[in-house]
Amino acid sequence: MRAAFFLGKDTPLSIKEIEKPKLGKDQVLVKIKSAALNHHELWMLKEQTESMPGGVILGSDGSGVVEAVEAEADQYLIGKEVVINPGIGWGNNPAVQAHSFSILGYPAHGTFGDYVLISKKQIFEKPEHLTLEEAAAVPLAGLTAYRALFTKARLRPGEKVLITGIGGGVALWAMQFALAFGARAYVTSGSEEKMKKAKALGATAAFNYKDPEWTKKIAKEAGGFDVIIDSAGGSQFSALLEMAYPGARVVIYGRTAGMIPDISPKTLFWKQLSIFGTTMGTTDEFLSMLDFVHRHQLKPIIDSTYSLENIKEAFTKMDQGDQFGKILISVD
């Protein structure tokens, strides 16, 4: 089988031929059809400094067909089209992941290869209305967006939601989920083209955060927000709190803009704001997310597809930040 191996920080991914993995207890072997990139892997490529003798196959998102199972009782799974939950070992507390929680692709081998060997607990039937390619774009981003909106922010129909950095996978799922739930979605971006695309998909309005007057324009056009979903942090985070209605919920799931300076305690306590951090989600939330996608017949926004052999070019595109939607890796 082919696989894209990560050997260490600042080392290019290497496509290698290796033996097909052998089944262990309660495991299934999935023939990967399609995988998807996440910033999780990009941060790994840039920041992971631990030594990895032999390397690790990256990749958290994936979909495919079950080819083999370990247990006789699981024979019915063979031939099933499945999507993979990349969160491994969440633990017993739904409020926060266990210390041992990990994401598929490190330290366990991931989906950037012809096959992935994984616990049968991690596979779920693909929503019928999605192709296998589309299904690969759902798991990590969809789960993160679902937990942010519904578990953390407890979104209600009719509320106004601001989603920053539209174009990324989580942000787009958050917008689609909010709209399907009957909320009004507003977005920000540094790209006029992405703003146009978001409005075409149903966003009420879009604002360019590179515009020096962006906060004033939001105040004039939107007034404020009940829920804010942020992927960036950084110096503009405090401005988001000023845009929040009293009693608003602010959820952050990323750090693309770095550390957050200068938050006013008065803004927090006088407006009685709630700020939540979130990462991935529980198995129950994953199932609820798949059900939501199915019930509302939602499809992911896909930016582009690369072959496994051209995975380096795919990461270059993600690093440049010009994608609108998920970047897929065709493995089949």
pLDDT of residue 38: 94
Count CA within 13 A, CB hemisphere, residue 138. Answer: 31
The domains of the chain are located at 2-138+300-330, 142-277
* Max CA separation in the chain (angstroms): 64
Provide the total of helices (H) and of strands (E) in the chain, helices listed first: 10, 18
End-to-end CA distance of the chain: 11
Neighbours of 70 (CB within 10 A): 17
pTM score: 0.95
Helices (H), 7-166: 39-47, 132-135, 139-146
Mean predicted lDDT score pLDDT of the chain: 95
> Looking at the DSSP assignment, which residues form a beta bridge with residue 276?
251
In angstroms, the CA 34 to CA 29 distance is 15
The pLDDT of residue 45 is 85
Containing 221, the helix (H) or strand (E) segment is helix 214-221
What 3-state DSSP class applies to 158? coil
How many C-beta atoms lie closer than 10 Å to residue 241's C-beta? 17
Angle at 176 between CA 277 and CA 310, to 5 degrees: 85
Would 2-138+300-330 and 142-277 be classified into the same CATH topology? Answer: no
pLDDT in tens, the chain (332 residues): 999 999 887 777 899 999 999 999 999 999 999 999 998 898 888 887 676 778 999 999 999 999 999 999 999 999 999 999 999 999 999 999 999 999 999 999 999 999 999 999 999 999 999 999 999 999 999 999 999 999 999 999 999 999 999 999 999 999 999 999 999 999 999 999 999 999 999 999 999 999 999 999 999 999 999 999 999 999 999 999 999 999 999 999 998 888 999 899 999 999 999 999 999 999 999 999 999 999 999 999 999 999 999 999 999 999 998 899 999 999 97
Q: Which DSSP string corresponds to 269-308?
A: HHTT-EEEE--S--HHHHHHHHHHHHHTT----EEEEEEG
Sequence-distant (≥ 6) Cβ neighbours of residue 103 within 8 angstroms: 40, 60, 86, 87, 88, 140, 280
Strand partners, 61: 36
Q: Residue 164: which of 203, 219, 221 has the closest Cα? A: 203
Please give the CATH architecture assigned to the domain spanning 142-277.
3-Layer(aba) Sandwich (3.40)
Does the domain at residues 2-138+300-330 carry the CATH identifier 3.90.180.10? yes
Q: Measure the CA dihedral 29/12/134/26, to 10°.
A: 20
The count of residues in the chain is: 332
